[in-house]
Amino acid sequence: MSSTRSNRLPSGTWGFPIPIHFGPGRIGELPAIARQAGMVRPLLVSDSATAALPFVGEILQRLESAGFEPVLFSDFSANPTDTECIRGGEVFRESGRDGVIALGGGSSLDAGKAIAISALQANTDFWAFDGLAEPLKAESLRPFAPLLCVPTTSGTGAEVEPAGMVTHTGTREKRAFLHPDFRASAAILDPELTTGLPANLTAWTGLDAIVHAIEAYLVPEFHPMCDGIALQALGLMAPAVRRAHRDGSDLEARFSMMVGSCLAAVAFAKGLGIVHAVSHMVGGLYDTQHGLTNAVILPAALRFNRAAIEHKAAELARACGAPSHDFDGLYAWVVELNLAFDIPHGLGELGAVPRDGERLTDMAMHDLCLPTNPRPVARAELADFIAAAIEKTW
């Protein structure tokens, strides 16, 4: 972990929507925060790429020095599957764990949430926690395992979002895994943990967060709190994402991206749209990186929704510093950002093939994000959208 500090960057703790400990160096407080959550024998859930980084070893050592007995679980994919999360739950039970610390990008946080929700639920089918299912009643559940979220990227905002996205191995659908009574106990947002993130992942995760802010703001529901948060998130991230990509050690840019990512996730409590409905299923079927997939789809989604969003585009364009404060300015800004980050021009470049178009359409029609798209989407329209997106989106 970097020892660099900036006296100009704020540090503190928010109580909304969960306790969030933010600021450079806050990872040093992990033992105290874990103890407050009731942990002594935590399962540290971290994807294999993150788990191999030196700071993970430092964190394990810090926990052990503070009297903890952590166990590392990293045997899961970039898009975690149900079988992988079930195995994580088995490790949790068999090794006598008392909490989960999810450390890493969106995959680690999603897997950590799924394990924390399901690990202690004896004789309960894993997919009983499918976001499309009727929520299980509290009296039929054992207490959920406490969960701490420590993001090491600035993209998903999964630390404050209650659902974990898990791929169903039978259908290859990427589904929301959640229960209305479950949230993380706390999160630590330390921008120093992101300074070593490679440039391509900085771009892809940053674009993921930007898509969250844009899609959330465009959801038709009247929700001035989420809308204000979305604009604030975009205002923080738009000038910072290029700086973070250009210079990964720019702690101020990393801080703005991390806070903006968190805010964008709070904003999408009101919903998302067609970008995520399609992206979830492309990720489930082809195991693509989620932020990259979102970035590929976004220009086509803006064009598809144009008639329904033009009245909102001005505020988004203003927040991101677009060349003109209208739909054309917003669209130009998005395309320019995709160009700057060498984003592919179509889903075909990510592995999607036309013969899977009908399957992707069927999958995306059932996604939780589609009903909140600004423009109602009929199945035939979605099929045409996906077919076109496989070829070219911008």
pTM, two decimal places: 0.94
Q: Are 219 and 53 within 8 A, CB to CB?
A: no
Q: What is the pLDDT of residue 7?
A: 57
- Residue 205 near residue 293, CB atoms below 8 Å: no
- Domain covering 12-193 in this structure, CATH number: 3.40.50.1970
CATH 1.20.1090.10 domain span(s) along the chain: 196-391
Could you give the CA distance from residue 245 to residue 63 in angstroms, rounded to a whole number? 31
Per-residue tokens: 368 = 């939780």
| CATH placement of domain 196-391 | 1.20.1090.10
CB 219 within 8 A of CB 280: no
The pLDDT value recorded for residue 2 is 42
pLDDT tens-digit profile, the chain (394 residues): 443 445 589 999 999 999 999 999 999 999 999 999 999 999 999 999 999 999 999 999 999 999 999 999 999 999 999 999 999 999 999 999 999 999 999 999 999 999 999 999 988 999 999 999 999 998 889 999 999 999 999 999 999 999 999 999 999 999 999 999 999 999 999 999 999 999 999 999 999 999 999 999 999 999 999 999 999 999 999 999 999 999 999 999 999 999 999 999 999 999 999 999 999 999 999 999 999 999 999 999 999 999 999 999 999 999 999 999 999 999 999 999 999 999 999 999 999 999 999 999 999 999 999 999 999 999 999 999 999 999 999 9
Distance CA 60, CA 196 (A): 18
SS3 135: coil
- Where on the phi/psi map is residue 298: left (φ > 0), alpha (ψ -120 to 50), or beta? alpha
Strands 20-22 and 174-177: unpaired
Residues of the chain with CATH 3.40.50.1970: 12-193
